Structure 1
Amino acid sequence: MIKLTVLYDRPSDVEAFEAYYMANHVPLARKVPGLNDIEVTLFQPGPDGSLPKYHLMAELTFDDPAAMQAALGSEEGKALGADVANFPGTTSSTRLVGVVA
């Protein structure tokens, strides 16, 4: 299995970003053919109260690299990628691809 992990920095408008992400972006992701699962983690302050480097993590799993490429190249996958421009609250992200051991 292969996993695409997207780590989002803290957005300028946290509430608007989270509301849009969960109500719009996640449902778009669930329509991507070949996607096995999506899991979203909202990070919380650490034990000392400090904010974490990242605000949100999305983990999308696929059977293999070819399935991931096909999924993200599909019309639904392209729509998912294009939706990033609609996120409220300016933020940047880091994308990682890895094999689930």
Structure 2
Amino acid sequence: MAAQIIVSYRTPADPKAFDKHYFETHVPLAWKIPGVRKYQVSRGPVITPAGPSPFHLIATLTFDNLAAIQSAFGSPEGQAALADVQKFATGGVEMNFFEAGEV
């Protein structure tokens, strides 16, 4: 069963600087994390049924299972990606891990 990480980035102080760093620096770092099978990001505004969301960007990374996620973030590449988040996520970030299944 696959497992996913949902990373929700709140609106940063400087959205343009966030986007530049995220796509030019963070995405290449994140792709180096061992075990990443799929990497998706939201495009355009993140909205809710009630209107605007407090989130600027949402990323979904897919791994084989939860053990692969735990191993990935214990790796040097995972640690580098986690450390990089502090450099650009000025609005705050939420990370959630879970096993994913189709219904």
TM-score for the superposition, normalised by structure 1: 0.87
- The 8 Å contact of residues 43 and 54 in structure 1, kept in 2 or not, is answered as no
How many angstroms does 1:42 deviate by?
Answer: 3.5
Match of 2:80 in 1: 79
Are residues 45 and 21 of structure 1, via their aligned partners in 2, closer, same or farther at CA, if it must alter by over 3 Å?
closer
Q: What pairs with 1:25-64 in structure 2 (closer than 5 Å)?
A: 25-44=26-45, 50-64=51-65
Mapped to 2, the partners of 1:53 and 1:82 lie a distance apart of 23
For the aligned residue pairs, the C-alpha RMSD in angstroms reads 2.0
- What amino acid does structure 1 have at the position aligned with 2:97? V
Structure 1 runs not aligned, ≥5 long: none
Instruction: Calculate the TM-score normalised by the size of structure 2.
Output: 0.86
Aligned residues of 2:35 and 2:72 also touching (Cα < 8 A): yes
Q: Between the two proteins, what is the percent identity of the paired residues?
A: 38
Match of 2:69 in 1: 68
Name stretches of at least 5 consecutive residues in structure 2 with no aligned partner.
none
Matched with 1:91 is 91
